[in-house]
């Protein structure tokens, strides 16, 4: 390897060894297992920071450019496949935890049918950026655990990589099931097979957040209690934090149907 590349690698390694620079450079780092009580007491709040919105946007711009060049990352392909699997013409879709709304672009590019999209996020900073970026879509600020919509208000509820950040996840699952007429998609949920559901802290785009890695059987049990039946599931992304949990994990996407629609 040429000396310039070797020097760059060495500098990169040195910067990643220091907490402050590591958090500036790496999208997700510094995972630590905590108890549920510690998770509830955690100030977190990272999703509300303007800097998180900015850094997430930089990361997504690269991913979206690859998708438009014909090389979508697997989780983006799976998101579109899960929507298409319901075979609905021009479905209304509510994305829970939409961030700055990147899935508007993913569904437009990769879904077979047009999707009539509404995005919801509890971070006003995310919603403000989403409205600026995707004026063709509809966005609202709101909490996944108290959805301000009537029963069966949307054909599809799509939880966009956010269940893992919602401490009251059981309520979020019940609320998603309530407002969905035809299907609920839980996209890219990190899973453990053997360990019980685990609570962690990490830095996401340089900001502190809480994260949950679900025991798969526990998650399926919560779906069943909410009246949901898994119709199909897909491997979404590697999500390996075995160095912290002691067990290899991965992210999976679930397409669930209300029991009365099977």
Ligand X SMILES: C[S@@+](CC[C@H](N)C(=O)[O-])C[C@H]1O[C@@H](n2cnc3c(N)ncnc32)[C@H](O)[C@@H]1O
Residue with smaller CB distance to ligand X, 91 or 160: 160
Q: Angle 100-155-153 (CA atoms, 0-180°, nearest 5)?
A: 85
User: Locate tokens 């059981």: which residue?
Assistant: 170
User: Locate tokens 């779906």: which residue?
Assistant: 223
Residue with smaller CB distance to ligand X, 144 or 256: 144
The two structure tokens encoding residue 71:
């090389």
How near is the Cβ of 166 to ligand X at its closest, in Å? Answer: 5
Q: Are 120 and 149 in contact (CB under 8 A)?
A: no
How near is the Cβ of 75 to ligand X at its closest, in Å? Answer: 8
| Alpha helices, DSSP H, located in 204-256 | 216-225, 242-245
Residue with smaller CB distance to ligand X, 144 or 179: 144
How near is the Cβ of 122 to ligand X at its closest, in Å? Answer: 4
Three-class DSSP category at 202: strand
How near is the Cβ of 255 to ligand X at its closest, in Å? Answer: 17
Residue with smaller CB distance to ligand X, 97 or 183: 97
Among 138, 159, 135, 81, residue whose Cα is nearest residue 113: 81
User: Where do contacts with ligand X occur on this chain (CB under 6 A)?
Assistant: 47, 97-99, 102, 121-123, 126, 143-145, 160-162, 165-166
């Amino acid at each position: 390897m040429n000396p310039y590349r070797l020097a760059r690698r060495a500098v990169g390694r040195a910067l990643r060894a220091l907490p402050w620079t590591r958090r500036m450079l790496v999208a997700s780092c510094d995972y630590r297992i905590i108890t549920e009580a510690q998770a509830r007491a955690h100030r977190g709040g990272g999703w509300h920071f303007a800097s998180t919105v900015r850094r997430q946007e930089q990361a997504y711009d690269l991913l979206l450019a690859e998708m438009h060049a014909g090389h979508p990352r697997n989780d983006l392909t799976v998101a579109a496949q899960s929507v298409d699997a319901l075979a609905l013409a021009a479905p209304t879709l509510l994305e829970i935890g939409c961030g700055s709304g990147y899935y508007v672009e993913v569904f437009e590019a990769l879904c077979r049918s047009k999707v009539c999209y509404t995005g919801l996020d509890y971070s006003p900073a995310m919603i403000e950026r989403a409205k600026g970026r995707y004026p063709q879509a509809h966005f609202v600020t709101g909490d996944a655990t108290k959805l301000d919509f009537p029963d069966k208000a949307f054909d599809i509820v799509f939880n966009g990589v956010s269940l893992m950040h919602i401490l009251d996840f059981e309520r979020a699952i019940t609320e998603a099931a309530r407002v969905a007429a035809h299907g609920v998609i839980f996209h890219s949920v990190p899973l453990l097979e053997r360990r019980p559901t685990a609570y962690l802290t990490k830095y996401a785009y340089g900001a502190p957040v809480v994260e949950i890695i679900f025991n798969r059987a526990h998650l399926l049990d919560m779906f069943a209690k909410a009246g949901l039946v898994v119709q199909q599931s897909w491997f979404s992304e590697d999500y390996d934090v075995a160095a912290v949990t002691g067990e290899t994990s991965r992210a999976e996407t679930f397409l669930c149907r209300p029991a009365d629609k099977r």
